[in-house]
Amino acid sequence: MIEGVLLKGYGGFYYVYAEDRVWECSLRGRFRVKDQDFLPGDRVKILPDEENKATIEAVEPRRNALIRPTIANVDQAILVFAMTSPKPDLNLMDRLLVQVTDAEIDPILVFTKLDKYEEDLKTGSEELTIMDVYRKIGYTVFEVSNETGQGIEAVGAGLKNKISVLAGPSGAGKSSLFNALSTGKKLKTGELSLKSKRGRHTTRHVELMVCAGGLVADTPGFSALFLPDMNRLELAECFPEFAQRRSQCRFSSCIHDKEPNCAIKEALENGEIASSRYEHYLIFLQEVIAAERRY
């Protein structure tokens, strides 16, 4: 038997990447009896029976699994946002960062349309970006241009031997980024509406594809509407700049809202924490508290 990673399931067959090739696999009977569910990213053992054909003999335990997108064993999430046209939605960005952090998946921030943004800077129509704010927090941040190729190689180097998912708003250039990173399969890219400056959704299913020495899923994205199930104390742990100061608060149960002697609010007043991050935290906190009351 050989080990591989499930890329996708379609029409009762499963496609597994192993030994630098894709195998069309059927299921061993016992899996059908158990009604075993399979997700892209599952690590499986297959038994070849003829050229490019095999049966799935075993499934390894999952390290993690996401519900939306439905994918397993994810190493990192590439969160893609445009620097301009449209401007980055920081509320959505922070919401996705909370979801990824809670799932114990490494977040990577990629800001696209660097060429367009630099043109805007020359005309004075853009202010300084917030990229350095997220770098200061400790996030890995890349600035790229899918048009000129600037920054693409650096992003690609971080994909090798890892399972990654692409997420972010439509129009940010997720599919274009994948195409710039990959010399193989191309993804359809959506046209950008000049009126709304919002992209049309072009990705319709979850499938892992070989890209830059790793496996990447261009997905419909994480659910942007709801936060993960968590309590009010756990939320702050998804904000690294909050978590590292939490022990400095007067109360161990501090939720950094109305409590006195709060290290987070003190850092905010001193300019050590971005006001947008704190504003989004308070919005998310109210959602978490409301969810606690419902349950």
Residue ranges of domains in the chain: 2-59, 65-218, 232-294
Q: What is the pLDDT of residues 214-273, one digit of tens each?
A: 999 866 555 556 788 999 999 999 999 999 999 999 999 999 999 999 999 999 999 999
Please enumerate, by residue number, every residue annotated as part of a binding site for Zn(2+). 249, 254, 256, 262
What residue has token string 């990824």? 100
Known binding residues are 112-115, 168-176, 249, 254, 256, 262
- Cα–Cα distance measured from residue 277 to residue 240, given in angstroms and rounded to the nearest whole number: 11
Superfamily of domain 65-218: P-loop containing nucleotide triphosphate hydrolases (3.40.50.300)
Annotated binding site for GTP: 112-115, 168-176
Which CATH number does the domain 2-59 belong to among 3.40.50.740, 2.40.50.140, 2.40.40.20, 3.90.1510.10? 2.40.50.140
Beta pairing class for 140-143 and 106-112: parallel
pLDDT, tens digit, for every residue of 140-192?
A: 999 999 888 999 999 999 999 999 998 888 888 888 898 899 865 555 544 33
Q: Which token pair is 44?
A: 């499986």
171, 224 contact by CB (below 8 A): no
Q: What is the pLDDT of residues 76-130, one digit of tens each?
A: 999 999 988 888 899 999 999 999 999 899 999 999 988 887 776 665 544 546 7
Measure CA 141 to chain center: 13
Q: Where are the beta strands (DSSP E) in the chain?
A: 2-10, 13-18, 21-27, 43-50, 53-59, 65-66, 71-72, 76-82, 106-112, 140-143, 163-167, 208-211, 214-218
pTM, rounded to two decimals:
0.85
Q: Which CATH number applies to 232-294: 3.30.450.20, 1.10.760.10, 1.10.40.50, 3.40.50.1240?
A: 1.10.40.50
Mean pLDDT of the chain: 85
Is the pLDDT assigned to residue 19 strictly greater than 60?
yes
On the question of a cis peptide bond just before residue 86, with omega within 30 degrees of 0, the verdict is yes
Q: What's CA 47's distance to the chain center, in Å?
A: 32
The answer for 139, left when phi > 0, alpha when psi is -120 to 50, beta otherwise, is beta
The full DSSP string for 253-273 is T--SSS-SS-HHHHHHHTTSS
What count of other Cβ atoms lies within 10 Å of the Cβ of residue 22? 14
Gyration radius of the chain's alpha carbons: 21
Tell me whether the CATH fold assigned to 2-59 matches the one assigned to 65-218: no
